[in-house]
Every structure is written in structure tokens, then in C-alpha cells.
Chain A
Amino acid sequence: MREFLLSISLLLWSVVARASGGPESFFPKDEAQRAEYAVTMDFGRVHLSGICVMKRIGGELVGTLMNEFGVRAFDFRYDPHRGTLKLSNLLALLDRWYIRKTLRRDLQLLLRYGDDGVPRTIRGRRLERRTDGPLVLTHLRRDLKIGFSPLNP
């Protein structure tokens, strides 16, 4: 009986600890879960803004970035097991090798390390979750910044 009560209390403790502990996931964790983000991109004096819709499909994170009126900028597909990201359907103005390379690397880092909320510097980029909500990736040697803010109902 004592062992039974002990095991129940341990089970309850672990459930409570799991429910209350740890930061909430920034990106969709469960299959078919969807989330929307306001996105800002600053490349020097060029600013882009828009909305990113992301969904977990077949274990991958699949997303579309579009402007406020629904004009698509690009799609992406991130495989969390391999840590690889593929871009597709880029607007012609973004479809340059150096933009593709930068976007691919930045999004890989954001999706790979952005979930835990721990600030870190990696591959010349600073990744941090700001107190006002957004997850921001800043290039340390270039004037380039990408921010994701969750859109809440």
C-alpha cells in the first residue's frame, strides 16, 4: 500500500512538474499543429514585413511567409532530425544564391535553437528571445536581422 501511494504521488508530481515547468514551445510541436507569426526582416535599409504560417506535417515544420495581403515570399520545409531546411517558391527578387543561402542558414538556426528560449551566439549570429515576445536572430558582422513574434488570438 505504501509503495502504491508513493508511486501515485511520484506520478502526480511528475505530471505537475511537466505541466508547470519549462518554457512553452515557440514553434508547433505536435503533428498538424499550426501557428502564425508576425515576421520582420531588416537587410540594411531594406525592411520586409509579413506573416509566417507554420504547421507540423509528417514530423517536419512546413511554413509559408507572405505579406499582409497574402502575397507569398517563399515556402520552407524543415527536417528537425537532420537539421536541414529547403526553400521553395521564392519571389524572383529573393531568388539569388546569396539570399537563399542566408535565409536557409538563418531559418535553420531559428527553428533548431529558437524553441528553448536560451540566448546563444552561434555561427556569427546572436539568437535571443526578447522580453516583449519576438525571437530575434541578429548577424554580428552584417546589418541583417530577422524577428518572429507569435500572433495571438
Chain B
Amino acid sequence: MKTTLILIAASLAVLLPARNRIVAQTPTPAEVIASIDRSATALRSLQGDFVQTKELSLLQERMVSRGVIYYRQAGGALRWEYLTPYRYTFILNGERVMMRSGDRTDVIETAENRVFREIARLMMNSLTGRSLATTSDFEVHVIVEPERWVVELTPRRREMEQFFARIRLSYDPSRQLVSRVELIERSGDRTTIELKNLKTNQTIDEGVFAVD
């Protein structure tokens, strides 16, 4: 009995400081933003899988698409490729965008199209966490949980309000990478993008971002 009590007391003695350590390490919202921003700045490339779920209340449907994402910081390049339920590839490389479905390919210049560019930039920043610390476009609210950090962005500009009522980004604290993006529309419909199997800072073949 005595031995049992000693063992329990010893376990508590070990656990309590550990718990205190966890409490002490819980970052403040400002620290979370700074940490995400540092990771995003150091992010040279990102690749992985995504699952996109779009709620379409008018069509009484939930549309689930799967695909792969490639991002390269240099030159601002993004490849967003749907693999199921259909094949469709969207590549943004600098000022040019390519869309490919089946044998058909369309290339457009975004220089003349500010809205197009802004949405693409916003998506890239959401997926990578860039510019959260410096953005003036959104009100930023941070929720710190043990398993995830949630950053809620509420548009300040009317131009952005028309696209989203809110954007909710969930981060994996251990890697400081986005694991989930929720785009909530004014109508209440939402698009959820879950990112999986993410690899960072690996060399990506130039051809992945080729716009031709």
C-alpha cells in the first residue's frame, strides 16, 4: 500500500510540472500569428493532396473533389489539379493562368484582371499562411487549442465581402502548416479544403508550373 501511494505521488509529481509546462507554453494569438508568418516566409515550396467539399444548397448537393496542390514561392506559382470526380488543372504562374480539361487548354493573362488576381493571391496566401501578420484586408481572430490553431479572417473591404463572409484557417501547431481552409459565403454555403500529406521545401519540377 505504501509503495502504491509513493508510486502515485511520484507519478503526480512528474505529471503536474508537465501540465504546467504545457499551460506555460500555450502561445498568445500574437505569437501564433508571428509563428505562422515566420513559417510562411521560410516556405519555399509546398506539395500535397487536397479534398475539397463544396456545399451547394440550391442543388441540394455536397460536391467532393480530390486532387493535388503544388506551390512555389519564387514567382508565385500554384498548380491546383483536380483528379476526381473529373480531371481539371489550374496553373497560376506569375501573370499567366492556364486551365486544362481533357484535350482543351486555355491560357489567360491576369494583368488586366484585378479581381481574378486578387482571388488567386488570397487563395495562395490562405493555403500558405503568408501575409497574415501584415494584412489590412481582414480582421484577424485567433483561437489557440492544444491540437490546432484556428485563424478566422473577416473581410474589411466590401470587395472581399462579396466573396466570403469569413475564412477559417486551421493550422497544425507542430508543423505550423495549414491543414484546413473553410470559405464561408454570405449565403451560409461553405467550401472546405483539407490539405493532407504535405511536403515542404522540396524541389518541384519546373514543368509542373508550365503554362503553355
A binding-site residues for B, Cβ under 8 Å: 34, 36, 38, 40, 45-49, 51, 53, 55, 57, 62-64, 66-72, 75, 77, 88-89, 91-93, 132-134, 149, 151-153
With an 8 Å Cβ cutoff, the count of chain B residues facing the other chain is 41
Asked whether B20 is an interface residue with its Cβ less than 8 Å from the other chain, the reply is: no
A-B contact list, 29 entries, CB within 8 Å: A36-B85, A38-B101, A38-B104, A40-B99, A45-B112, A47-B116, A48-B113, A53-B56, A53-B63, A57-B60, A64-B58, A68-B80, A68-B88, A69-B80, A70-B52, A70-B191, A70-B193, A71-B119, A72-B185, A75-B58, A89-B58, A91-B162, A92-B159, A93-B115, A132-B104, A133-B102, A133-B104, A151-B86, A152-B87
B58 → A minimal CB distance (Å): 5
Complex Cα distance, B83 from A152, in Å, reads 10
Do B86 and A55 touch across chains, with their CB atoms under 8 A apart? no
* Min CB gap A68→B, angstroms: 4
* Shortest beta-carbon distance from B190 to chain A in Å: 9
Partner of A55, one of B61, B84, B185, B189: B61
Please, how many angstroms separate the alpha-carbon atoms of A51 and B163 in the complex? 16
Q: 7 additional contacts, CB 8 Å, given A34-B61, A49-B90, A151-B102?
A: A62-B59, A64-B58, A69-B183, A134-B104, A149-B102, A151-B86, A152-B101
Q: Is the CB of A46 within 8 A of B112?
A: yes
In the bound complex, CA of A45 to CA of B159 (Å):
21
Instruction: Determine the distance from Cα of A89 to Cα of B56 in the docked complex, in whole angstroms.
Output: 12
